[in-house]
Structure 1
């Protein structure tokens, strides 16, 4: 019973934080409170696990992308996306005294957000193509969305010429091509992604790198994140995103 009271007290301030944030940005979406509370619960887990600063930054970054995809992309504002998320973290500091926010702020830069978001979307669409019921009868259309988004990502690769970003796209290309070659609805349908010569070239990196561990089943994990952290064997699949910080 004492443990249950502790768990309740740990998260007692989350709803108030979410309501304050909701009012600050005039958010009316009725799903925001639920997704915001899931996010803060996950931040609490990151804090309690006492992982390394890098691992905490990884988890906080991925949570940013998840919350952006679910809610923050609909917020009308004049700020950078990172700054909106920092506002939410600041509310956490004021009310719950988290330490991981400073780790996030010191490691994640605004200019990398769009690059990371495209990679996030790419793998998200790919997972939907493979596993989502909506794509069960429309495999080609779902795979085509991945194909088109990949072309956008490659354009970013050409512009930024970031070795880690481009190499991650090459890893995705191999995985995607292997998948469509095994799917009758996608095979021989002009979805094969050709090799980009520069994708695996090495370049001199002037900025340190951090690898972000991204779990493809993260949307389910947010519901049962404590179980996942302590029983990583249940994570079905992981992949790495490499970013500049």
Structure 2
């Protein structure tokens, strides 16, 4: 399998450990002394029949635990928290924007003392990155379920899975957008998926493999002109020097130079003649005879 590319969305491939922590804190009944959750209310949490106070406490414990982790863990942990709120708590029943508001409200309660310990990490989450993060975690989770099913059944002939349709839809977003990290994470996922299909399943045919992330048409549009330029640079001097093309080209160019020289001379003569004619016309005296009435 190819070497993994580091991206903004690395957590998508390692989300399970953060999910376990949040699920664990949600299932705990021990009180917390981080932040003020007693008065916390959120309509979107209420709409999915979750306990706002419980969710708040779970997040406070989770964020408090992140403080003692390394930089990478803090970064990925804060990113995954958004996904957990949107998918596990709110069940995707509200918009990314509303989940982002909830995410920031909860962090504001955690950061009541203004220490901003995790602010550098939480501030990386915005509408664009959070939406793509949710999509990437979803496709990795879908693949994990497919892989677990294989480990249980050992059915090597089940080749189709939902990852193919998800990947295709995300691929269009990658090719029409400007997020290199999103595209690179799709490359990472493609490598993982195709490695599993090729090495563990009896699946023949390209239809079971995910396509290249790069658009072959775009690559061709960039590559072909570049090749033509290189060919012109290296081939043209050889043609000029070692084939009849050189003398023919010089002959043609010589004729054009003679023609242009003649045109320039004629233009110069005409211009001078016009100037002299104009000056003489100014010096003419006209005698006009009037008939007496």
TM over 0.5: yes
Secondary structure of the structure 2 residue equivalent to 1:62:
helix
- Given candidates 131, 137, 160, the residue that maps to 1:114 is 131
Question: Do 1:46 and 1:56's aligned partners in 2 also have CA atoms closer than 8 Å?
Answer: yes
Superposed CA offset, 1:209-233 (max 9, x none): xxxxxxxxxxxxxxxxxxxxxxxxx
Summarize the alignment of residues 75-94 of structure 1 with structure 2, pairs less than 5 Å apart: 76=94, 79-94=97-112
TM-score under structure 2 length normalisation:
0.51
Superposed CA offset, 1:176-215 (max 9, x none): 111112344x61373211223349x8xxxxxxxxxxxxxx
State whether structure 2 residue 214 is matched by structure 1 residue 197: yes
Larger Cα-atom Rg? 2
- Structure 1's unaligned 5+ residue stretches are 1-7, 202-245
Secondary structure of the structure 1 residue equivalent to 2:63:
helix
Q: Distance in 1 between matches of 2:31 and 2:114?
A: 11
Q: 1:17 to 1:24 in 2, by over 3 A?
A: farther
TM-score under structure 1 length normalisation:
0.60
Moved more, 172-181 or 85-94: 85-94
- Given candidates 32, 55, 64, the residue that maps to 1:11 is 32
- Structure 2's unaligned 5+ residue stretches are 1-28, 220-293
Moved more, 39-48 or 172-181: 39-48
Instruction: Name the structure 2 match of 1:156.
Output: 173
Matched pairs, number: 188
State whether structure 2 residue 183 is matched by structure 1 residue 166: yes
Q: 1:9 to 1:181 in 2, by over 3 A?
A: closer
Instruction: Name the structure 2 match of 1:187.
Output: 203
Moved more, 66-75 or 113-122: 66-75
Instruction: Name the structure 1 match of 2:40.
Output: 20
State whether structure 2 residue 78 is matched by structure 1 residue 60: yes
Q: Distance in 1 between matches of 2:95 and 2:58?
A: 23
